[in-house]
Chains A and B, each alone.
Chain A
Amino acid sequence: MNWAILSGIEGNLTAYEAVLQDIQDQAVTDLYILGDVVGLQGDNEAIIQRLQSPRAGELEPQVCVGWWEEQCFSLYGVSGLQDAPELMAKVGGDGVKTFWKSISRESVRWLRSQHFGFHEQDCLLIHGSTVSYADELTPDTPAIELCDRLIRADANHLFCGRSGLTFECSVTPVALRSTVTTLDGVQAPQDCGKTPRQVIGVGSVGRSPGQATYTLFSPENGQLAFRSVNYGQP
Chain B
Amino acid sequence: MKLAVISCIHGNYEALKAVLSDIEAQKADQIYCLGDLVGYGPYPNEVVNQIRSLEIPTCQGCWDEDIVEGLNACECSYPSQLAEHRGKLAHEWTNKEIRPDVREYLATLPLSLKRDNLCFVHGSPNSQHEYLLPSMDGFAALERVLSTDADVLFCGHTHVPYVRELADAKLSVTVKSPARSDAPQQFQATLKRIINAGSVGEPRHGRPNATYVLYDTDTAQVTLREVAYNYTKTCLAILEKGLPSIFAWRLARGMEFAERADDPTHVCER
Chain A residues at the B interface, C-beta cutoff of 8 Å: 116-117, 130-131, 139, 142-148, 151-154, 165-183, 187, 190, 192, 201, 213, 226, 228
In the complex, whether B81 has a CB less than 8 A from a CB of chain A is no
Would you call B265 and A152 a contact (CB within 8 A)?
A: yes
Which A residue sits closest to B270, measured CB to CB? A79
Q: Which of B166, B176, B205, B265 touches A130 (beta carbons < 8 Å)?
A: B265
> Nearest CB to that of B133 among chain A residues?
A180
Q: How far is the CB of B69 from chain A (nearest CB, A)?
A: 14
Q: In the complex, what residues of A have CB within 8 A of residue B141's CB?
A: 178
A130-B265, A178-B164 are known contacts. Are A151 and B139 too (CB-CB below 8 A)?
yes
What residues of B have a CB within 8 angstroms of the CB of A170 in the complex? 173-176
For residue B170, CB closer than 8 A to chain A, the reply is yes
- Evaluate whether A174 and B171 lie within 8 angstroms (CB atoms) in the complex, with A143-B187, A151-B264, A182-B224 already known: yes
Using known A-B contacts A151-B140, A152-B265, A180-B164, determine if residue A167 contacts B169 with beta carbons closer than 8 Å. Answer: no
How many angstroms from the CA of A190 to the CA of B137 in the assembled complex? 8
Within 8 Å CB of A187, what residues of B? 134
Q: How far is the CB of B119 from chain A (nearest CB, A)?
A: 16
Q: Bound state CA distance, A142 and B185, in angstroms?
A: 11
B267 at the binding interface (Cβ < 8 Å) = yes
A and B contact pairs by CB, cutoff 8 A, 29 listed: A116-B267, A117-B267, A130-B265, A143-B172, A144-B171, A147-B143, A148-B143, A154-B264, A166-B178, A168-B175, A168-B176, A168-B177, A170-B174, A170-B175, A171-B171, A172-B173, A174-B170, A174-B171, A176-B139, A176-B168, A177-B166, A178-B166, A181-B163, A182-B134, A182-B224, A183-B161, A183-B224, A190-B138, A192-B137
Assuming the contacts A154-B264, A183-B205, asked whether A143 and B165 have C-beta atoms less than 8 A apart, the reply is no
* B167 and A152 form a contact (CB under 8 A): no
Q: In the complex, are the beta carbons of B168 and A144 less than 8 A apart?
A: no
Instruction: For residue B86, give the distance in angstroms from its CB to the closest CB of chain A.
Output: 26
B180 contacts the other chain (CB 8 A): yes
Q: Which of B97-133 contact A (CB under 8 A)?
A: 126
Nearest-neighbour CB distance to chain A for B202, whole angstroms, equals: 16
Residues of A within 8 A of B162 (CB): 180-182
Question: Which A residues are in CB contact (< 8 Å) with B182?
Answer: 139
Contact flag A145-B177 (CB < 8 Å), given A153-B265, A178-B165: no
CB distance from B185 to the nearest CB of A (A): 7
Contact partner, A139, options B139, B160, B175, B187, Cβ 8 Å: B175
CB distance from B87 to the nearest CB of A (A): 24
Per a CB cutoff under 8 Å, which of B172, B211, B226 touches A172?
B172
Do B269 and A176 touch (CB < 8 A)? no
Residues of A within 8 A of B174 (CB): 169-170
Closest Cβ–Cβ distance, residue B215 to chain A (whole Å)? 13
The docked-state distance in angstroms from the alpha carbon of A206 to that of B135 is 43
Residues of chain B within 8 A of A146, CB atoms compared: 173
Known: A146-B173, A178-B165. A228 touches B264 (CB 8 A): no
Cα separation A119 to B225 with both chains bound (whole Å) = 43
Q: Closest CB-CB distance, A100 to chain B, in whole Å? A: 24
| Complex Cα gap A9–B118 (Å) | 45
Using A178-B138, A201-B177 as known contacts, list a sample of 7 further A-B pairs with CB atoms less than 8 Å apart, ordered by residue number in A: A130-B265, A142-B146, A144-B187, A148-B139, A172-B171, A190-B138, A192-B137
Q: Which residue of B lies closest to A189 (CB)?
A: B138
Given A130-B265, A151-B264, A166-B178, the answer on whether A180 and B139 have CB atoms closer than 8 Å is no
